[in-house]
Amino acid sequence: MFALVDCNNFYVSCERAFQPALNGVPVVVLSNNDGCIVSRSAEAKALGIKMGEPLFQVRPLIEQHRVKVFSSNYALYGDMSSRVMNYLTEAAPEVEIYSADEAFLGLHGMARYLGSLETYARRIRAEVRQRTHIPTCVGIAPTKTLAKLANRVAKKDPTLDGVLSLETPEARQWALAKVPVQDVWGIGRQYAIKLHAQGIATAADLARCSDAYARKHLGGVVGARLVRELQGFPCHNLAPSEDGALSRQSIACTRTFGRPLNELADICGAVAAFASRAAEKLRRQGSVAHVLTVFISQNRFGPAPPPHTRSAQLTLPTATSSTLDLVSYATAILNRIWQPGQTYVKAGVILDGFEAAGQPQLSLFEKAPELTHPQASALMQRLDQLNARFGRAAVQVAAALPSQPKPRGTKAAPGVPWQGQQQHRTPAVTTSWDELWEIG
DNA sequence: TCTGGGGTCCTAGGACCC
DNA sequence: TCTGGGGTCCTAGGACCC
């Protein structure tokens, strides 16, 4: 059996945890750059504000109903997420952290010891709420896909009080019939259109499909597994998270700029900063990367036809996690793809092809790579320590700093040219000394 | 004026190898 | 007319997830 614990409206709930006055009123949280709606309270959903909608399109609705609006505060959400996950790691023998706000618990053979899994789930839910003020729902089922489905039904049906267990076939049939096919985990927009056109409207309909049908219409083996999981046959194992942290196969840092940019120096600063961030994340998970991709994008909503993005990928001679290496490779790639006279609105750096740091895999017949310079590695360690202590980006490579102010008489825009808007951000009350709550 | 930022897995096709 | 049968690696792209 699996349990899926999923936080309700996670970003909004994090804001509410420190501002109880937000309870009961409509609240939304915005994406980076204050562009789109990415989290909504139940009251905001009821007003018809949709997930992913651009802020400027719903502004009338927001003003009319006095919806509270917040820029995203990832320092706060990340910290709240670890609090929730740390507790879950204590509370269950096996935990897979699936995202910032969701975790699968492995409950194989646990019913013997726990008695009712549903009672256990209710206890977990109450504990998470008491410790963090974050509301959750829990779904229990023999497969991950059914646990997701159970969780969804628990969220929608208030009489269930946040927990639904699908341990019996009867319970499963009942739940499958209630869920529209587009709400099944793994059915997105494209598949939903196709399925409805063929008369498959609910999860129960989908669970009755043949293996051949699933393979043909739902992306091959992926779709076949999806249908099997709905039928109650597990195809996905738990992937337990070590140390309560996620370990990635790729790491990206990509951003829309605060305003469109056409100066190479400005874009170069952005790319250097993104490469630095990506390198930090890479070191934190103890990996080195072999492959580096840089891309720059023009406005995809503008009149110009696609493609809007230029990118290039580089296989590095030696896998590395050094900020200095990655910044210099990244800016070299940028110089190859940047075109003068064009205006760019976004850039990104993506790292791939990971190995564990300190033990690169040697391929047969290849010469051993040069050892990482101990000095460079010590330097990166100091860099990470300083930034942990004095705040992110306290120490940076010079390339990531904004270029020098322009000569007098020309008007220089204030601040870092590529940095985005954050007009509605709350303080990082749990992670920043400067922004701690003052009581008194 | 204003439109996010991460990730995953899978497939197909081409180059190349024996 | 007929024209092997595997492999691997890489890239691009699609679909999905939170």
In tens, the pLDDT along A95-108 reads 999 999 999 999 99
Find the nucleotide nearest A10 (Cα to C1′): C18
**pLDDT interval class at A362 (50, 70, 90):** very low
Burial tier of A120 (Cβ tally within 10 Å: 0-12, 13-18, 19+): buried
Round to whole Å and give the CA distance between A25 and A20. 10
Window 92-121 of chain A: CB closer than 7 A to strand B: none
Nucleotide nearest to A345 (CA to C1'): B3
Higher-confidence residue of A80 and A311: namely A80
Whether residue A338 is predicted with pLDDT greater than 70 in this model: the reply is yes
A407: phi then psi, degrees, rounded to nearest 5: -55, 155
Q: Which of the four pLDDT bands, split at 50, 70 and 90, describes residue A440?
A: low
Q: Which residue is nearest to nucleotide B8 (CA to C1')?
A: A249
Over 90: is that where the pLDDT of A430 sits? no
A52 touches strand C (CB under 7 A): no
A185 touches strand C (CB under 7 A): yes
* Euclidean distance between CA atoms A176 and A439, whole angstroms: 50
Query: Would you state the pLDDT for residue A395?
Result: 77
Nucleotides on strand B lying under 7 Å from protein C-beta: 1-12
Closest-approach nucleotide to residue A99, Cα vs C1': C18
Which A residues 395-434 have CB within 7 Å of strand C? none
Q: CA at A214, C1' at C1: how many angstroms apart?
A: 40
| Strand C nucleotides where any atom sits below 7 Å of a protein CB | 11-12, 14-18
Q: Alpha helix (H) ranges present in A72-188?
A: 74-91, 111-114, 117-132, 144-156, 169-178
The mean predicted confidence, pLDDT, of chain A is 89
Percentage, residues of chain A above pLDDT 90: 67
| pLDDT at residue A359, rounded to an integer | 63
Side-chain-facing half-sphere of A18: CA atoms under 13 Å: 18
Q: What is the pLDDT of residue A404?
A: 55
Confidence of residue A422 (pLDDT cuts 50, 70, 90): confident
User: For the ranges A229-233, A352-356, A361-365, A389-393, which has the lowest average pLDDT?
Assistant: A361-365
Percentage of residues in chain A with pLDDT exceeding 70? Answer: 92
Asked if residues A318 and A329 have their Cβ atoms less than 8 Å apart, the reply is no
Of A138-142, A257-261, A304-308, A413-417, which gets the smallest average pLDDT?
A413-417
Distance A182 CA to B10 C1' (A): 20
**Per-residue burial over A183-202, b = 16 or more CB atoms within 10 Å of its CB, e = otherwise:** bbbbbeeebbeebeeeebeb
A269-273, A304-308, A310-314, A325-329: which has the minimum mean pLDDT?
A304-308
Q: Which nucleotide is nearest to A247 if distance is taken from CA to C1'?
A: B7
* Per-residue flag: A219 CB under 7 A of strand C: yes
Global pTM reads: 0.91
- Please check the confidence at residue A300 and state whether its pLDDT lies above 70: yes
Q: What is the largest CA-CA distance in chain A?
A: 78
Phi, psi for A344 (deg, rounded to 5): -115, 145
Answer whether residue A201 shows pLDDT above 80.
yes
Q: What angle do CA A75, A77, A82 make, to 5 degrees?
A: 100
Mean pLDDT of A397-408: 63
Residues A16-35, buried b or exposed e (16+ Cβ, 10 A)? Answer: bbeeeebeeebbbbbbbbbe
Strand C at less than 7 A from CB of A189:
yes
Residue A247 has pLDDT above 90, yes or no: no
Q: Which helix (H) or strand (E) holds A349?
A: strand A344-356
pLDDT of residue A61: 95
Confidence of residue A317 (pLDDT cuts 50, 70, 90): confident
| Joined tokens for residue A245 | 């942290």
The larger pLDDT score, comparing residue A410 to residue A190, is at A190
For the ranges A179-188, A316-325, A409-418, A424-433, the one whose mean pLDDT is highest: A179-188
Q: A283 CA to C2 C1', in Å?
A: 59
